[in-house]
Amino acid sequence: MKHFLDLADWSSTDLRHMIRLAQQIRLEWESGGNRPVLGGKTLGMIFQKPSLRTRVSFDVGMKHLGGYAIYMGPDEIGLGKRESIADVSRVLSGMVQGIMARVFDHAHVTELAKWADVPVINGLSDDSHPCQAMADILTIIDHFGHSDGLHLTYIGDGNNVARSLLLICAHFGVHYTIASPKGYELPQITVDTAKGINPNIEINLLHDTNEAAEGADILYTDTWVSMGQEAEATQRVDAFSDYQINQQLLQRAARHAIVMHDLPAYRGKEITDEVADGPQSVLFKQAANRLHAQKAILVTLMS
């Protein structure tokens, strides 16, 4: 049994296979519906934080594949408070065939996996967002027809999304540049992990957004203030004020460049309306691909 906790746990071959599966499942869905390969199976979904895309994509994905999903919100099971993570995991293992969890502390999702007899999926932790990265690479391949050799530039916080994005870039041969303010850089350990996955991609950690965006095929950004960082909001908005994807920055990128954002977007902060709704934006194709990418993860782990 395999969990989907971190992209470093998976081989590039397996992840590339999973993306081809996502494309097949999407085609099957568009051609009249998915076969019920998860018929009679249930996914338990634990959320310690809010969600739109992750919740809906896993819930709808399970239903399309013949199964069910159960939502357990922050106030319902009290993960690690009302009941220990070990006990929650063992109870759920007797009732559902897969667990998806969105947590603050990454150790909570690994603890769930440690005790589970069923696959556990990381639906975002403070450290990583591997499900998002799968939808991101699917969107990149949809647009360019391939991934190897492309240049992606991420503008902003070296956060959970930026980290998983670097690992997926390593697996899929995409060169990765990030521009972050001082104090908010990508951790060196993630860079080392990415180099271990694929020593052939270029990884650049910069502070200057104009330099980072130069000639990029893909510009990507995420919120300046992640869930759980609300107390730091004022300080962060100040530190990140120059780290915005706007029309002027987009002009530095390749003329054919696309703009990506995992969403929710804080318009006027990390991205302008003009760019988010402009012709180079693939934001809503990227969001829709969460459904197809998540189905491939579910089928790989649970069928």
Residues that bind ligand CP (CB under 6 A): 51-54, 124, 132, 262-263
Give 189-198 contacts, CB < 8 A, sequence gap 24+.
190/158, 190/163, 190/166, 191/166, 193/8, 193/167, 194/166, 194/167, 194/169, 194/170, 195/170, 196/8, 197/8, 197/12, 197/167, 197/170, 197/171, 198/12, 198/170, 198/171, 198/173
Of residues 39-68, those binding ligand NVA (CB under 6 A):
none
Q: Name residue, tokens 């934001």.
A: 283
Distance between CA atoms of 266 and 283, rounded to whole angstroms?
13
Q: What number of chain residues touch ligand NVA (CB under 6 A)?
A: 9
Nearer to ligand CP, 79 or 124 (CB): 124
Nearer to ligand CP, 27 or 52 (CB): 52
Q: 96-135 mask for ligand NVA (x: CB under 6 A)?
A: ----------------------------x-----------
Nearer to ligand NVA, 32 or 183 (CB): 183
Confirm if 243 and 180 have CB atoms less than 8 A apart: yes
Q: Does 289 bind ligand NVA (CB under 6 A)?
A: no
Backbone angles phi, psi at 128, to 5 degrees: -155, 160
Task: Please report, for residues 14, 17, 173, 296, the alpha-carbon distance to residue 24 in angstroms, rounded to integers and kept in the order given.
Answer: 15, 11, 22, 9
Q: Does 223 bind ligand NVA (CB under 6 A)?
A: yes
Cβ 53 to ligand NVA, closest distance in Å? 7
From 59-67, 156-164, 183-191, 287-295, give the range in contact with ligand NVA by CB under 6 A: 156-164
Confirm if 153 and 253 have CB atoms less than 8 A apart: yes
Cβ 46 to ligand CP, closest distance in Å? 13
How far separated are the first and last CA of the chain, in Å rounded? 11
Instruction: Single out the residue of 89, 110, 160, 221 in contact with ligand NVA (rule: CB under 6 A).
Output: 160
Q: Does 262 bind ligand NVA (CB under 6 A)?
A: yes
Q: Does 270 bind ligand NVA (CB under 6 A)?
A: no
Q: Which residues bind ligand NVA (CB under 6 A)?
A: 124, 159-161, 222-223, 226-227, 262
